[in-house]
């Protein structure tokens, strides 16, 4: 992104804030205007080898997802459950003496099922909301230690070795995608380290990708349920399932007014 | 780094002997085969000639090796090299009578035995798994690859050949 563009983004965000205070933000949290895929870089079609990675990740790929909200079933939590299993989120235990409601609000969650209802028509839309893996992530902008970072292949992650738990990133994220680990976690999975005092969020199952397995637990679970609402793949590869799906159907970013060029795109909103 | 154990201080040999005795006492069931006196007998490591690097090197530099690997993994996504912390746990974790893995940072286990003795706090396991559980990648053979120590390539290669199936890569759990 050039310096001029950077400046332009800045002014737009300020204008948006002005609008927001005037109280005219749409309930669905989706800005106006058609989405152009110009932000997604030109196609470089090389498949990741199906073997453990030996070279550092590169810009050749940009991992992302396409979510068709019209296929996302009401009451289905397959993606959330699969994510919990895959990333050890189900191993968190409620601290002694904590009340249930507070715990449910505090426990780490990587995917949230969000239900939107159009006030005028009553039409209900369900969608899974996770880290949107922005090209210009606000969480990275605000991190005082550089712990919040974007991997070369577009995955926005937290380096917990340098995270000090200040939670600025949680404040900055427009998608409420990040969670803070408040208590020591007794059981951990080798693939998903987790400890008190750090922030974490969806990492697009980076451990799978690093092993050459191009899939995420949520997309797989959704397909297993025969809903096929989540498609995962390489946004830079026009032959990838995610690009194929995006070519067929109009999709948009949530809060596209922020111009973050998210890696997760939604249809049916 | 200076090797203080070989300084010619009077009574140094007595101190070394005392240290060795303390180590043996702390480590409990150790296999004193001269390759790793602090290795837990029931661990996979007990059956191997040496660690991913020569034992002496590992004793002094394991923290540097792990720290280097950590950045390679977090930023580069390379998880399969021989210096990964999950590799340490997988190979050095001890097993109880029921063949269940014992947390590697438990009292008298591989990590704590030394760290308690040296009074050095380790916080790897505040976050990382203490037993092999839910690995997501193939661990390469611990003695494979280039050594960090010059001149020990042949040793590592020989160990690979002799260790054979003792340290076969773990199968995927998923």
pLDDT at position A254, please?
96
Tokens 């997760």 -> residue = A264
The first and second tokens of residue A186, run together, are 């007794």
Cβ(B103)–Cβ(B131) below 8 Å: yes
* Residue B120 C-alpha, separation from nearest chain A C-alpha, in angstroms: 18
The first and second tokens of residue A126, run together, are 């369900």
Cβ-defined contact of B79 to A209 (cutoff 8 Å): no
> For chain A, how big is the Rg over CA atoms in Å?
18
Which residue from B56, B50, B52 is spatially nearest to B69, judged by alpha carbons? B52
pLDDT at position B171, please?
41
DSSP B131-171: S--S--SPPPPTT-S--SSTT-HHHHHHHHHHHGGGGPPPP
Tokens 């580069």 -> residue = B76
Probe site for chain B from A60, A190, A204, A214 (most B CB atoms < 10 A):
A190
**pLDDT (tens place) for every residue of chain B, 174 residues total:** 444 444 444 444 555 454 554 454 444 444 433 334 678 888 888 888 888 889 889 989 999 999 988 999 999 998 877 888 988 898 899 999 999 999 999 988 999 988 988 899 999 999 999 998 877 544 444 444 556 666 555 344 444 444 443 434 444 433
Residues on B contacting A at a C-beta cutoff of 8 Å: 70, 72, 74-81, 86, 89, 126-130, 132-138, 140
The first and second tokens of residue B158, run together, are 């020989």
Which residues from chain A sit within 8 angstroms of residue B77, using beta carbons?
53, 56-57, 151, 153, 206, 209-210
The first and second tokens of residue B25, run together, are 């006492």
* Residue B132 C-alpha, separation from nearest chain A C-alpha, in angstroms: 6
The first and second tokens of residue A33, run together, are 């205007």
pLDDT at position B157, please?
43
3-state helix, strand, coil in chain B (%, to 5): 45, 5, 50
pLDDT at position A34, please?
41
Return d(Cα A234, Cα A231) in angstroms, integer. Answer: 10
Cβ-defined contact of B77 to A210 (cutoff 8 Å): yes
Return d(Cα A216, Cα A236) in angstroms, integer. Answer: 17
Return d(Cα B155, Cα A21) in angstroms, integer. Answer: 69
- Architecture of A3-92+102-267 per CATH? 2-Layer Sandwich (3.30)
pLDDT at position A3, please?
52
Which residue from A215, A217, A28, A213 is spatially nearest to A110, judged by alpha carbons? A217
Which residue from B79, B95, B81, B82 is spatially nearest to B39, judged by alpha carbons? B95
Q: What is the dihedral of CA B121, A196, A145, A200, to 10 degrees?
A: 140
Which residue from B140, B19, B153 is spatially nearest to B84, judged by alpha carbons? B140
Q: How many CB atoms lie within 10 A of CB A239?
A: 11
Which residue from B8, B118, B112, B17 is spatially nearest to B60, judged by alpha carbons? B118
Which residues from chain B sit within 8 angstroms of residue A195, using beta carbons?
126-127
- N residues, chain B: 174
Which residues from chain A sit within 8 angstroms of residue B75, using beta carbons?
56, 149, 151, 159
**pLDDT (tens place) for every residue of chain A, 269 residues total:** 455 555 555 555 555 554 444 444 444 444 444 444 444 443 333 444 467 888 899 999 999 999 999 999 999 999 999 999 999 999 998 888 889 999 999 999 999 999 999 999 999 999 999 999 999 999 999 999 999 999 999 999 999 999 999 999 999 999 999 999 998 888 899 999 999 999 999 999 999 999 888 999 999 999 999 999 999 999 999 999 999 999 999 999 999 999 999 999 999 98
Cβ(B135)–Cβ(A188) below 8 Å: no
DSSP A103-127: HHHHS--S-EEEEEE-TTT--EEEE
pLDDT at position A9, please?
54
Kind plus residue range of the DSSP H or E element containing A179: strand A179-180
Q: How many CB atoms lie within 10 A of CB A198?
A: 23
């Amino acid at each position: 992104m050039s310096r001029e563009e950077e400046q332009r983004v800045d002014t737009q965000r300020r204008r948006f804030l002005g609008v927001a205070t005037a109280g005219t933000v749409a309930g669905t949290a989706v800005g106006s205007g058609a989405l152009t895929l110009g932000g997604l870089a030109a196609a470089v079609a090389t498949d990741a080898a199906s073997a453990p990675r030996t070279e550092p990740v590169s810009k050749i790929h940009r991992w992302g997802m396409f979510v068709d909200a019209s296929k996302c079933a009401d009451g289905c939590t397959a993606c959330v459950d699969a994510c919990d299993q895959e990333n050890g989120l189900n191993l968190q235990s409620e601290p002694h003496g904590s009340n249930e409601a507070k715990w449910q609000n505090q426990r780490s969650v990587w995917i949230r099922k969000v239900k939107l209802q159009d006030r005028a028509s009553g039409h209900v839309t369900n969608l899974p909301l996770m880290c949107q893996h922005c090209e210009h992530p606000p969480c990275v902008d605000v991190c005082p230690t550089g712990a919040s970072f974007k991997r070369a292949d577009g995955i926005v992650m937290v380096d917990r070795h340098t995270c000090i738990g200040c939670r600025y990133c949680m404040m900055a994220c427009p998608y409420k995608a990040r969670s803070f680990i408040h208590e020591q976690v007794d059981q951990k999975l080798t693939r998903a380290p987790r400890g008190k005092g750090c922030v974490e969020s969806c990492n697009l199952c980076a451990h799978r990708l690093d092993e050459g397995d191009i899939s995420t637990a949520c997309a797989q679970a959704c397909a297993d349920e025969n809903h096929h609402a989540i498609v995962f793949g390489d946004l830079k590869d026009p032959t990838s399932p995610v690009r194929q799906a995006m070519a067929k159907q109009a999709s948009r970013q949530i809060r596209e007014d922020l111009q973050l060029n998210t890696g997760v795109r939604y249809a049916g909103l | 780094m200076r090797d203080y154990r070989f300084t010619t201080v009077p009574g140094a040999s007595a101190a070394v002997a005392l240290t060795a005795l303390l180590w043996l006492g702390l480590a409990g069931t150790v296999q004193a085969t001269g390759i790793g006196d602090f290795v837990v007998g029931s661990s996979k490591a007990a059956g191997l000639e040496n660690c991913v690097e020569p034992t002496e090197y590992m004793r002094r530099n394991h923290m540097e090796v792990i720290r280097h690997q950590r950045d390679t993994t977090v930023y580069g996504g390379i998880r399969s090299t021989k210096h990964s912390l999950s590799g340490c746990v997988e190979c050095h974790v001890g097993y109880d009578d029921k063949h269940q893995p014992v947390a590697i940072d438990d009292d008298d286990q591989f990590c704590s035995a030394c760290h308690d003795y040296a009074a050095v706090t380790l916080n790897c396991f505040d976050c990382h798994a203490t037993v092999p559980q839910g690995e997501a990648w193939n661990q390469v053979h611990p003695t494979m690859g280039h050594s960090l120590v010059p001149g020990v390539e042949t040793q590592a290669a020989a160990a690979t050949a002799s260790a054979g199936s003792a340290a076969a890569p773990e199968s995927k759990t998923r």
